[in-house]
Amino acid sequence: MSEHYYSKQPHSKNNRHTFTETLRGEHFSFTSDAGVFSKGGVDFGSRLLIETFVAPRIMGDVLDVGCGYGPIGIAIAASNHERCVWMVDINERAISLAEENAAQNKVQNIKVIQSDRLSAVEDNKFAAIVTNPPIRAGKDIVHNIFEKSADVLYSQGEFWVVIQKKQGAPSAEKKLRSLFQSVEIVARKKGYFIFKAVKA
């Protein structure tokens, strides 16, 4: 099987590069590498999720599932200093980059953990979960992320996900409605949907 960004240990030859991005009105510097998702820059879906996300009314930590080299979690942490943002990914190279990027952007309210989906954090509770899920890993894995997220959210906690219409947004919405009491489309742009699901 060919290697994907959701491989635990990427074997792609390193090809590190650093670039700058403006997210949520702040400037960031990110270092990326071969073998991680959207290595050339922040992809449109992640950017839309970053710019659309609004912290929930309830207090508590935020979880970024499938964080890659860290743009979603780091941008959210930088504008929500009162919350700790946990960032998880199965990819060891991504986790190392996420830690490095948090440090080089001086964002300290972050916890980076290697985890296959939510397995390493399932004993914790969160006020919000954000994810640009690994679509190429298959529907079963993506829907498992939805299920496990519903388990670890506080009551009134929020699950935010970006997904393209052509990559399964309709089936994702159906799955979310089976797990959460409230599901709404909070943004729709260039074929990408941002869903917010609230746990009753």
User: pLDDT of 93-126, one tens digit each?
Assistant: 999 999 999 999 999 999 999 999 999 999 999 9
Tell me the pTM. Answer: 0.93
> How far, in Å, CA of 30 to CA of 70, rounded?
8
CATH class of 17-198: alpha beta
- 134-169 residue pLDDT tens: 988 899 999 999 999 999 999 999 999 999 999 999
What CA–CA distances, in Å, run from 32 to 99, 123, 138, 164, 194?
12, 30, 24, 23, 25
Q: What percent of the chain has pLDDT over 90?
A: 86
Per-residue model confidence as pLDDT tens digits over 63-94: 999 999 999 999 999 999 999 999 999 999 99
